[in-house]
């Protein structure tokens, strides 16, 4: 199971004590009902799923963007493959895609940002989430804030001035927006970071799933940071 957790940020690494155990528990709880999710989706109109989720249904597959790749889910099997080469998606990615399609209700983007504690039931795990998302950004880029731009642009991020500091917006899924934010430190204050969510995100993913997307974004960015 730890290998699946590690894939949240597109890589594999050894578990990291309490924070990793928290992610592991979230991941395990999400993987168990995959078959139930697929069965529930098969009972729905695939064209309606596509309309609500920002996907495209061509009569045989649901196609959508997932991070920087295009993926296809065969219908009605709902097995996910990469459009570029036809290879099967990892189990982690399969789970995230099914959760997204199941939750999607077509709500418009809210246009403002919220923290993890403001998501449904997010307050209890806010500190753990901050540890492997915002704190990880601050550790990776606090001494080199200019490098965040390079890392963000390499991952398809777009700069925004809506948050009044160094901030970049990402779309891991068609209707989920994340913002990676860095407040550079100085002689008196340490650098701070955060990974925020468009306020409509809970219309498209469970709170646990959003934690994994946010932590995954921080990990993907941190891998592009300059060596410590």
pLDDT at residue 14 in the model: 40
Cα–Cα nearest to 191, from 128, 152, 156, 147: 147
Residues found in the chain: 228
Which residues contact residue 167 at a Cβ distance below 8 angstroms, ignoring those fewer than 6 apart?
Answer: 159, 160, 161, 179, 180, 181, 182
- What H or E segment, with its residue span, contains residue 69? strand 69-74
Residue 49 exposure: Cα atoms within 13 Å on the Cβ side: 26
Task: Encode the chain (228 residues) as per-residue pLDDT tens digits.
Answer: 233 334 555 554 443 455 566 666 766 776 778 888 999 999 999 999 999 999 999 999 999 999 999 999 999 999 999 999 999 998 889 999 999 999 999 999 999 999 999 999 998 889 989 999 999 999 999 999 999 999 999 999 999 999 978 999 999 999 999 999 999 887 788 999 999 999 999 999 999 899 999 999 999 999 999 886
Distance between CA atoms of residues 148 and 193, nearest Å: 11
Other beta carbons within 10 Å of 45: 9
Cα–Cα nearest to 67, from 146, 10, 21: 10
Contact by Cβ (8 Å): 207, 120: yes
Distance between CA atoms of residues 207 and 31, nearest Å: 14
For the chain, which residues make up each domain, given as ranges? 33-103, 109-222
């Amino acid at each position: 199971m730890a290998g699946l957790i590690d894939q949240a940020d597109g890589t594999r690494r050894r578990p990291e004590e309490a924070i990793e155990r928290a992610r592991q528990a979230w991941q395990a709880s999400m993987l168990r009902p995959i078959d139930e999710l697929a069965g529930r989706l098969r009972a729905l109109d695939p064209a309606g799923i596509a309309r609500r989720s920002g996907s495209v249904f061509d009569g045989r597959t649901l196609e959508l963007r997932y991070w920087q790749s295009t993926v296809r889910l065969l219908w009605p099997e709902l097995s996910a493959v990469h459009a570029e080469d036809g290879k099967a998606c990892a189990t982690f990615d399969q789970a995230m895609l099914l959760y997204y399609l199941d939750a999607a209700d077509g709500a418009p983007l809210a246009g403002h940002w919220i923290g993890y504690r403001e998501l449904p039931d997010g307050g209890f795990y806010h500190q753990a989430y901050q540890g492997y998302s915002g704190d990880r950004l601050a550790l990776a880029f606090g001494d080199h804030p200019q490098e965040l731009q390079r890392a963000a642009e390499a991952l398809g991020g777009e700069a925004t001035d809506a948050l009044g500091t160094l901030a970049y917006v990402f779309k891991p899924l068609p209707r989920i927006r994340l913002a990676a934010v860095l407040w550079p430190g100085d002689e008196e204050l340490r650098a701070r970071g955060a990974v925020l969510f468009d306020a409509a995100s809970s219309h498209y993913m469970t709170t646990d799933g959003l934690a994994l997307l946010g932590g995954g974004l921080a990990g993907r960015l941190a891998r592009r940071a300059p060596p410590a």
